[in-house]
Structure 1
Amino acid sequence: MSDGDHERTFVMIKPDAFGRGLVGEVISRLEERGLKLVAIKVENMPRERAEEHYSEHEDKPFYDDLVDFITSGPVVPMVWEGQDATRQVRQMIGETDPLEAQPGTIRGDFALDLGRNVVHAADHEDEGANEREIGIHFDDDELIDYDQHDAEWLYE
């Protein structure tokens, strides 16, 4: 964590967005908002990690489809930092169901189908979701700390 009420939040660009060439667009939107990128990688997620990531849905009928999809192509796991970062990101990506996502949100602009909704972000209402998801995808030494060059223009 950083100082004050800054927090780190987990975000992952899903295989559908990767395949459609939307990686740069998603990253740009988060950067332009003022969030600070502290970890990123490109990978084909191992099935075991996907099962751990979605373990809260293990008993639900859509669990196998979630795991199959997230392991179907490259993903871009990331950690972003900023004031109320989790809520900021959730607002920016829009509702889980793209039909309910507002235009101007990432899902509202780029997604049509619930099963292909471009990006995953930790839920701000799920206490501990960020720490759990960051820990699944990144080791502590992969999270970098640096001074954000425009911080004085972003925060009081």
Structure 2
Amino acid sequence: MSDHERTFVMIKPDAFARGLVGNVISRLEDRGLKLVGIKVINMPEERAEEHYAEHTDKPFFDDLIEFITAGPVVPMVWEGQDATRQVRQMIGETDPLEADSGTIRGDFALDLGRNVVHAADHEDEGANEREIAIHFDEDELIDYDQHDAGWLYE
């Protein structure tokens, strides 16, 4: 199906420290998305700078790098129909104060600088491919038949 895609999602150090990893993964699985890559890492500073390269000139860049490298993160790749848009809708607005209740950020975050999860932007062409390539080698992503796919898609 041509509208199936892979999308990058990362659970941030605040969510890891608060024990929210399972909650975030469960929500994505419950939606019907297919997990095809996952790891737990302490993000190296160089990788963090590459990941957030579009923010290099912004005043919050140093704080962002310090935060994302402060504790374990969980980079993941999810697959599904319009996966990037599905995930962005599920996580809610970047600022938790603007995120709807029922979204991941709306339910679990209070502060913009501690907003639980990162997800590739569906409006940024190429963001998924770039972010996936930063965090995963192709052989770290798996392909398998999702047993309930017939109940998720026409």
> 5 Å matches for 1:3-152?
3-152=1-150
How many residues end up aligned between the 2 structures? 154
Structure 2 stretches lacking a partner, 5+ long: none
Percent sequence identity is 88
Q: For 1:36 and 1:98, locate their aligned partners in 2 and report how far apart those are by CA, in whole Å.
A: 26
Structure 1 stretches lacking a partner, 5+ long: none
- Secondary structure, counterpart of 1:112 in structure 2: coil
Q: For 2:151 and 2:12, locate their aligned partners in 1 and report how far apart those are by CA, in whole Å.
A: 31
- Secondary structure, counterpart of 2:35 in structure 1: strand
- Secondary structure, counterpart of 1:117 in structure 2: coil
- TM-aligned CA deviation for residue 4 of structure 1: 2.2
Q: For 2:107 and 2:3, locate their aligned partners in 1 and report how far apart those are by CA, in whole Å.
A: 30
Paired amino acid for 1:139: D
- TM-aligned CA deviation for residue 14 of structure 1: 0.1
TM normalised by structure 1 equals 0.98
Q: For 1:91 and 1:54, locate their aligned partners in 2 and report how far apart those are by CA, in whole Å.
A: 21
Q: For 2:39 and 2:58, locate their aligned partners in 1 and report how far apart those are by CA, in whole Å.
A: 29
- TM-aligned CA deviation for residue 104 of structure 1: 0.1
Misfit runs of 4+, over 3 Å? none
- TM-aligned CA deviation for residue 55 of structure 1: 0.3
- TM-aligned CA deviation for residue 5 of structure 1: 1.1
TM normalised by structure 2 equals 0.99
Paired amino acid for 1:28: S
String of CA shifts for 1:43-100, please: whole Å, max 9, x gaps: 1000000000000000000011111000000000000000000000000000000000
